[in-house]
């Protein structure tokens, strides 16, 4: 019952709320009505009217068409939700692409009911769900958000006072601001980069603009994934306080640095190809009451796996870098780093062929655009000006910011230097680099202290000092030990020919290097040492230079002042070897390169001519060294070597008047010793020297003797002493004064030819020689005495009548082989085949005249000579012994009269000679006597059989000769006494004359069996027709002939001459001799023939027959004449036009005696152009090895036959005919030209018949 009553009472209560007693509506319907009206107003009407209002207002304020997809209000909780909220770009072009600046999936805001009571908008909860933000950095550097300022420059300060602006802040309190799953996309048009932050979660517990809450800190927490890497930021900020402060703690792990590659491109051309960034940083923003705004950064950063690359290769890599940043001031671009460490950095530096170093091109300043406004067209069609940014102020040192590094270390570094400028390229690796740096700064006043070392094992480099970046200057104490030099060999200029194969360098000292603004390089307290150096020139020959050990102490150098001073140079084992190549040039390093400037590859400017290097050395001491010289330009290679060289001296200077001293000693061969001492100054040049030579082996000089002759020096040594001086005399002919004097001796000398001794002497001593070249150039040479002891000479005449001495001195022969000190073997027999190249004879012009030359006396003692003649059978041998001679007063002075006395024995018979002469006087004069006693004629029987047709059984000759010279006329009186001459039976000999010699001997013999002859001889010295031997022979033959034909009278002359042709008992013919190969008469012959023509006129019945003769032996002469003419023409053709106008081809001088090199070149060029040479397949014909071989081939191959020789004979007859008729034309009909005749050498008795014969018919 009780429960039923209770239910009835409840129904009554609710019924009373719904209806009154009068049946009208009660309180509940009205309450429901108001609730329904509230819900309809907030839930339906407010969103309906608020959505377009908000869209219109936002669009008007922002200048773009902002949209809200749906707006809802929860009447119960007052929660406002906006879905699909969008703010488009103001740029019309972007609007068409569908991209939005802001796009929210859902915005939720819960205003508090307490807002009205506090007159403040209080939001209990503000949430942004999946917001998307898209920001663009425009090409001028501004952000896309600046487009909404509609022409206002946000950088301009507000005109209103800051206090008023702060008083007008909208009263707002927000609790629990959150962003969930947000996305931020930034498109950087400046650097061409795009960055995305996803999973953005932001939480701010409380934010208020109320005056009472301005000191309450905002404590946001942000997490996101930036470019795939998570970051976390926790901060604290007071944005509305009077002193605004904001601080954020930033933590990143494995932030991929290549994603930000575009931000370094304004400053470098390198690319970040890898690298991870780990940070624990605190970012602080602070603005004081004066509105000064400061941003600072503190904390640590770590970079791992960093690599930088150019377009082709990795140029820098870093295993790990740790940085402790104390303070980064963003405004003035200044970074202060407490500690930094680099682990295993590796750098590759490359130098291009033009000299440019790649790292100088990797970094540059950004090309900022000047300040200007950009106008953007909005979706509404109006243009909005966007202020441009100002160019960042340029740093004094060209860097984008100032860096201060307080303490840093470098471990296990590596630098690779790749230089492609030299050939071959250089690659040098510096490993195990360790370093420490402090107080490094990029500002102008910064000076860093550093310590750096690298290398391994014995090869290390360390440096300690200080450095500045602006200017680029380094001052340090350098200590480099045993640096290998071969890696730097390509830096030796290539055209120098020097190849560096080994060696190490050690350097220590205080150094100063400055690159900009001017180049400076200075060294003080320096020390340097070279060891194990090996260098050569050219191919794989002997080393040009080898250094065992050399050291320099107390070095000071200044590149700007161009000075180098060395306190002392000392060393051992410096071995040098020089080579003269086959072309005659010394294979020495030619240090004349044009150094390239490393920045642009262009040749560096040459130093000013008035600023030469000044090099000075206080002391020098080098020992245990060798010097070698190899001469490959000779037909036989020559090698000279000095051993145990010791050099010492002091006070050497390239210029200045300081006097220096030098002392040199060396060993030559097994026992030879050399020494030299010199002292003086170089500026001006004034030197004195003295030296001595003892038992120096001269055999290595044999190839030089063999270059001019065929003689080999088998044994010889040199000894003596000398002294002299050299002095500079500017403005004179010689430029200075040179004098040398002393005493020399050559001992144990032996010369060989074809393996046999040709001659030599035991000792030759030159005493008191004095050679002087004064400034005038008039050289003077005097020798006190020359003494030759035990000279020897052996001469062999071969079957053709050529002596071995003549052959040996004729010129160089083909190499006989290699062997022995002289470079040839000892084989006998014939010469080897010609091989090797023709050696050019050098005949330099004498620059100075010889003013005087004199030899006080020459003494020869104990001489001997051997003469062997193989033309007779058996070969004849003549021995001359006890040769003694004394010459005195040999001089170029025409007033001096030289004298000669001598004696010898010929096969035991004594011979004595005495003479005196003034041969250089204006009228030469002289006199002399010679006597021969008891010369056994039977020893000459071989000659008698061959040339007289009778052997000599016995006989003894005694002769006395007296000669007198006056001017050019020589007169000789010869008295011959032959005792007991007994001739054998006549023998047949083609060389013997057809005369009754035996009868003549019988007629000439007196009752005592002796023959006495007086043979006068006279003639003119220099006359080609006067040859002493021929004249004497003719006189003797004439005596014999007259003896047989006129036994009772020896008075008369030999019938000769043209005028005797017309005598009744005279000859019927005569001969006119022509030069071999020519058809022209000399002046004497023409005059004689003209007189003969006049004589013909006196004999009207006489007729002359002229027959031209030529000899086949003249072919070679014609070939030589043709070659000479062709060479002269070629030389003339090579002249410039202006030179050709001044001369003729005939005036050209070409010949080996004039210029051997020119003659050889022209002859080979002529030879190669001949048709038979071009077609020849014979190697000897196609490529002869010497000028002698070329002429031999030309003489055998050129087509000069009987036709050409007969023409030459005919022209000779014609020349005689014209000479006879010259001035006597009326006798021309009585001169008949007969058919020319061609003869052989065999027909003319071993002589070439180059003449024309005139025969008279009466």
Convert the pLDDT of each residue in 1122-1153 to its tens digit: 888 888 888 898 899 888 888 888 788 888 77
Integer Cα distance of 881 and 876 in angstroms: 16
Provide the pLDDT confidence category of residue 446 given band limits of 50, 70 and 90.
low
Domain boundaries, the chain: 2-34, 697-825+847-890, 894-1053
Please tell me the predicted confidence (pLDDT) of residue 751. 92
Half-sphere exposure of 894 (CA within 13 A, CB side): 6
Positive/negative CA dihedral, 1245, 1250, 1251, 1253: positive
Task: Reply yes or no on whether the pLDDT at 858 is more than 90.
Answer: yes
Please tell me the predicted confidence (pLDDT) of residue 191. 67
Please tell me the predicted confidence (pLDDT) of residue 73. 77
Please tell me the predicted confidence (pLDDT) of residue 538. 61
Please tell me the predicted confidence (pLDDT) of residue 502. 81
Give the pLDDT confidence of 250-288 residue by residue, as tens digits. 778 778 888 877 777 777 888 888 888 888 877 777 766
Task: Reply yes or no on whether the pLDDT at 764 is more than 90.
Answer: yes
Please tell me the predicted confidence (pLDDT) of residue 824. 41
Contact 859, 840 (CB under 8 A): no
Integer Cα distance of 386 and 373 in angstroms: 5
Which residue did the predictor score with more confidence, 442 or 453? Answer: 453
Which residue did the predictor score with more confidence, 567 or 43? Answer: 567
Highest mean pLDDT among 69-83, 974-988, 1018-1032, 1040-1054: 974-988
Mean pLDDT within 899-926 = 88
Which residue did the predictor score with more confidence, 72 or 570? Answer: 570
User: Widest CA span of the chain, in angstroms?
Assistant: 221
Tokens of 752: 């060989």
Q: What torsion do the CA atoms of 76, 78, 83, 87 make, to the nearest 10 degrees?
A: 170
User: Could you tell me what percent of the chain has a pLDDT over 70?
Assistant: 75
Please tell me the predicted confidence (pLDDT) of residue 211. 76
Give the pLDDT confidence of 1086-1113 residue by residue, as tens digits. 888 888 888 777 777 778 888 888 887 7
Please tell me the predicted confidence (pLDDT) of residue 1055. 27
Please tell me the predicted confidence (pLDDT) of residue 545. 78
Task: Reply yes or no on whether the pLDDT at 1201 is more than 90.
Answer: no
Please tell me the predicted confidence (pLDDT) of residue 247. 78
Question: Phi and psi at residue 922, in whole multiples of 5°?
Answer: -60, -40
Give the pLDDT confidence of 571-616 residue by residue, as tens digits. 888 888 777 778 777 666 554 444 444 444 444 444 445 567 788 8
Positive/negative CA dihedral, 390, 396, 399, 403: negative
Give the pLDDT confidence of 969-1027 residue by residue, as tens digits. 888 888 888 888 888 888 888 877 766 677 667 666 765 778 888 878 777 776 665 55
Task: Reply yes or no on whether the pLDDT at 243 is more than 70.
Answer: no
Please tell me the predicted confidence (pLDDT) of residue 42. 62
Give the pLDDT confidence of 295-349 residue by residue, as tens digits. 677 788 888 988 988 887 888 898 988 887 665 555 555 677 778 888 999 999 8
Provide the pLDDT confidence category of residue 860 given band limits of 50, 70 and 90.
very high
- Residue with token string 């194969």: 501
Tokens of 162: 């800051």
Integer Cα distance of 665 and 1079 in angstroms: 65
DSSP output for 23-64: S-B-HHHHHHHHHHHHHHIIIIIHHHHHHHHHHHHHHHHHSS
Question: Phi and psi at residue 947, in whole multiples of 5°?
Answer: -100, -15
Average the pLDDT over each of 49-53, 143-147, 283-287, 326-330 and give the range with the smallest value: 326-330
Tokens of 580: 């003269």
Mean pLDDT within 795-813 = 82
In whole angstroms, how far apart are CA 781 and each of 542, 688, 721?
Answer: 40, 19, 17
Please tell me the predicted confidence (pLDDT) of residue 1011. 83
Give the pLDDT confidence of 817-848 residue by residue, as tens digits. 443 334 444 433 333 333 333 333 444 444 45
Please tell me the predicted confidence (pLDDT) of residue 656. 62
DSSP output for 1132-1169: HHTS-HHHHTT--GGG----TTT-HHHHHHHHHHHHHT
Provide the pLDDT confidence category of residue 747 given band limits of 50, 70 and 90.
very high
User: Could you tell me what percent of the chain has a pLDDT over 90?
Assistant: 10
pLDDT, averaged across the chain: 76
Mean pLDDT within 772-799 = 89
Integer Cα distance of 466 and 510 in angstroms: 12
Integer Cα distance of 679 and 693 in angstroms: 19
Please tell me the predicted confidence (pLDDT) of residue 663. 92
Give residues with Cβ within 8 angstroms of 216, minimum separation 6.
206, 208, 238
Please tell me the predicted confidence (pLDDT) of residue 188. 73
Closest CA to 314 of 227, 401, 193, 414: 414
Please tell me the predicted confidence (pLDDT) of residue 624. 85
Question: Phi and psi at residue 957, in whole multiples of 5°?
Answer: -110, 135
Does pTM surpass 0.85? no
Please tell me the predicted confidence (pLDDT) of residue 691. 93
Which residue did the predictor score with more confidence, 29 or 276? Answer: 276
Provide the pLDDT confidence category of residue 912 given band limits of 50, 70 and 90.
very high
Task: Reply yes or no on whether the pLDDT at 120 is more than 60.
Answer: yes
Mean pLDDT within 710-727 = 91
Average the pLDDT over each of 664-668, 684-688, 751-755, 788-792 and give the range with the smallest value: 684-688
Task: Reply yes or no on whether the pLDDT at 750 is more than 70.
Answer: yes
């Amino acid at each position: 019952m009780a429960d039923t009553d209770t239910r009835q009472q409840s129904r009554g209560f609710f019924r009373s709320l719904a209806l009154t007693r009068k049946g009208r509506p009660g309180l509940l319907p009205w309450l429901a009505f108001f609730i329904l009206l509230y819900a309809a107003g907030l839930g339906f009407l407010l969103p309906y009217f608020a959505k377009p209002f908000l869209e219109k207002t936002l669009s008007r304020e922002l200048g773009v068409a902002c949209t809200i997809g749906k707006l809802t209000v929860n009447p119960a909780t007052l929660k406002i939700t906006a879905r699909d909220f969008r703010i488009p770009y103001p740029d019309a072009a972007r609007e068409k692409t569908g991209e939005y600046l802001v796009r929210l999936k859902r915005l939720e805001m819960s205003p508090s009911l307490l807002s009205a009571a506090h007159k403040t908008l209080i939001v209990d909860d503000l949430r942004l769900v999946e917001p998307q933000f898209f920001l663009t950095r425009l090409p001028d550097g501004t952000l896309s958000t600046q487009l909404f300022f509609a022409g206002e420059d946000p950088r301009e300060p507000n005109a209103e006072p800051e206090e008023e602006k702060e008083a007008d802040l909208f009263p707002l309190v927000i609790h629990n601001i959150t962003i969930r799953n947000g996305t931020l996309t930034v498109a950087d048009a400046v650097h061409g980069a795009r960055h995305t932050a996803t999973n953005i979660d932001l939480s701010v517990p409380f934010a208020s603009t109320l005056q009472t809450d301005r000191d309450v800190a905002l404590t946001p927490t942000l997490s996101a994934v930036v470019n795939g890497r998570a970051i976390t930021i926790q901060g604290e900020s007071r944005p509305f306080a009077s002193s605004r402060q904001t601080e954020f703690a930033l933590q990143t792990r494995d932030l991929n640095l290549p994603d930000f590659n575009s931000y370094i491109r304004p400053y470098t051309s390198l690319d970040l190809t890898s690298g991870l960034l780990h940070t624990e940083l605190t970012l602080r923003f602070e603005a004081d009451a004066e509105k000064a705004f400061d941003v600072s950064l503190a904390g640590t950063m770590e970079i791992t796996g960093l690599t930088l690359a150019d377009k082709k290769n990795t140029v820098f890599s870093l295993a790990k870098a740790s940085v402790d940043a104390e303070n980064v001031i963003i405004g003035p671009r200044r970074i202060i780093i407490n500690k930094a460490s680099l682990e295993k950095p590796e750098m590759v530096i490359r130098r291009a062929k033009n000299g440019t170093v790649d790292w100088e091109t990797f970094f540059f300043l950004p090309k900022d655009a000047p300040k200007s406004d950009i106008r953007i067209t909005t979706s509404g069609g109006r243009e909005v000006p966007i202020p441009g940014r100002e160019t960042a102020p340029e740093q004094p040192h060209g860097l984008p910011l100032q860096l201060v590094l307080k303490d840093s270390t470098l471990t296990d570094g590596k630098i690779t230097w790749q230089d492609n400028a030299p050939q071959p390229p250089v690659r040098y690796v510096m490993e195990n680099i360790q370093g420490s740096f402090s107080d490094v700064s990029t500002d102008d006043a910064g000076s860093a202290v550093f310590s750096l070392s690298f290398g391994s094992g014995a090869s290390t480099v360390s440096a300690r000092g200080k450095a500045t970046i602006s200017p680029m200057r380094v001052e340090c104490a350098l200590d480099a030990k045993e640096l290998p030099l071969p890696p730097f060999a390509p830096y030796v200029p290539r055209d120098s020919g020097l190849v560096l194969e080994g060696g190490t360098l050690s350097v220590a000292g205080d150094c100063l290097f400055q690159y900009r603004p001017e180049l400076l390089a200075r060294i003080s307290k320096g020390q340097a040492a070279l060891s194990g150096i090996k260098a050569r020139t050219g191919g794989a020959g002997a080393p040009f230079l080898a250094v065992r050990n050399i050291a320099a102490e107390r070095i000071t150098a200044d590149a700007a002042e161009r000075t180098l001073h060395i306190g002392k140079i000392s060393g051992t084992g410096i071995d040098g070897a020089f080579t003269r190549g086959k072309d005659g040039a010394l294979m020495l390093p030619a240090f004349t390169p044009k150094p390239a400037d490393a920045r642009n590859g262009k040749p560096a400017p040459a130093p000013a001519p008035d600023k030469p290097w000044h090099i000075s050395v206080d002391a020098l001491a080098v020992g245990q060294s060798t010097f070698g010289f190899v001469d490959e330009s000779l037909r036989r290679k020559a090698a000279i070597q000095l051993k145990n060289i010791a050099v010492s001296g002091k006070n050497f200077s390239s210029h200045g008047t300081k006097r220096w001293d030098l002392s040199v000693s060396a060993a030559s061969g097994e026992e030879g010793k050399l020494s030299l001492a010199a002292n003086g100054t170089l500026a001006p040049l004034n030197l004195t020297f003295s030296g001595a030579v003892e038992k120096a082996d001269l055999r290595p000089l044999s190839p030089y003797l063999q270059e001019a002759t065929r003689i080999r020096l088998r044994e010889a040594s040199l000894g003596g002493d000398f002294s002299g001086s050299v002095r500079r005399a500017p403005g004179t002919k010689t430029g200075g004064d040179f004098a040398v004097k002393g005493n020399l001796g050559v001992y144990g000398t032996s010369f060989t030819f074809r393996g046999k001794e040709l001659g030599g002497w035991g000792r030759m001593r030159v005493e008191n020689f004095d050679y002087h070249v004064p400034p005038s150039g008039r050289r003077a040479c005097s020798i006190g005495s020359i003494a030759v002891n035990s000279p020897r000479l052996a001469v062999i005449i071969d079957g053709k009548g050529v002596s071995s001495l003549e052959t040996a001195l004729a010129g160089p022969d083909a190499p006989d082989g290699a062997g022995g000190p002289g470079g040839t073997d000892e084989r006998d027999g014939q010469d080897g085949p010609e091989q090797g190249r023709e050696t050019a004879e050098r005949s330099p012009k004498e620059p100075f005249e010889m003013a005087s030359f004199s030899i006080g006396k020459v003494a020869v003692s104990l001489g001997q000579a051997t003469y062997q003649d193989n033309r007779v059978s058996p070969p004849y041998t003549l021995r001359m012994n006890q040769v003694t001679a004394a010459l005195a007063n040999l001089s170029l002075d025409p007033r001096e009269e030289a004298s000669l006395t001598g004696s010898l024995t010929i096969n035991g018979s004594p011979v004595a000679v005495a003479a005196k002469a003034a041969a250089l006087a204006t009228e030469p004069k002289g006199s002399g006597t010679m006597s021969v006693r008891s010369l056994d004629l039977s020893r000459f029987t071989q000659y008698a059989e061959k040339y007289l047709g009778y052997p000599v059984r016995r006989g003894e000759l005694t002769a006395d000769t007296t000669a007198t010279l006056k001017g050019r006329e020589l007169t000789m009186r010869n008295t011959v006494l032959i005792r007991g001459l007994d001739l054998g039976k006549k023998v047949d000999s083609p060389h013997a004359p057809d005369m009754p010699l035996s009868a003549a001997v019988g007629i000439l013999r007196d009752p005592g069996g002796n023959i006495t002859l007086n043979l006068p001889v006279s003639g003119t010295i220099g006359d080609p027709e006067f040859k002493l031997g021929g004249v004497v022979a003719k006189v003797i033959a004439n005596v014999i002939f007259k003896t047989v034909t006129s036994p009772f009278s020896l008075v008369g002359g030999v019938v000769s001459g043209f005028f005797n042709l017309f005598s009744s008992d005279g000859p019927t013919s005569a001969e006119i001799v022509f030069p071999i190969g020519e058809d022209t008469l000399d002046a004497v012959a023409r005059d004689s023939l003209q007189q003969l023509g006049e004589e013909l006129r006196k004999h009207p019945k006489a007729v002359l027959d002229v027959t031209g003769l030529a000899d086949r032996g003249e072919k070679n002469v014609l070939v030589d004449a043709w070659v000479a003419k062709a060479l002269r023409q070629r030389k003339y053709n090579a002249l410039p036009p202006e030179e050709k106008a001044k001369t003729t081809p005939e005036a050209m001088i070409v010949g080996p005696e004039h210029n051997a090199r020119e003659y050889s070149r022209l002859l080979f060029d002529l030879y190669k152009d001949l048709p038979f040479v071009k077609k020849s397949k014979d190697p000897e014909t196609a490529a002869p090895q010497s000028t002698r071989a070329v002429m031999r081939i030309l003489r055998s191959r050129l087509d000069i036959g009987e036709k050409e020789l007969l023409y030459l004979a005919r022209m000779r007859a014609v020349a005689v005919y014209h000479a006879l008729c010259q001035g006597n034309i009326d006798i021309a009909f009585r001169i008949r030209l007969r058919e020319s005749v061609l003869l052989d050498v065999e027909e003319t008795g071993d002589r070439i018949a180059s003449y024309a014969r005139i025969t008279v018919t009466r």
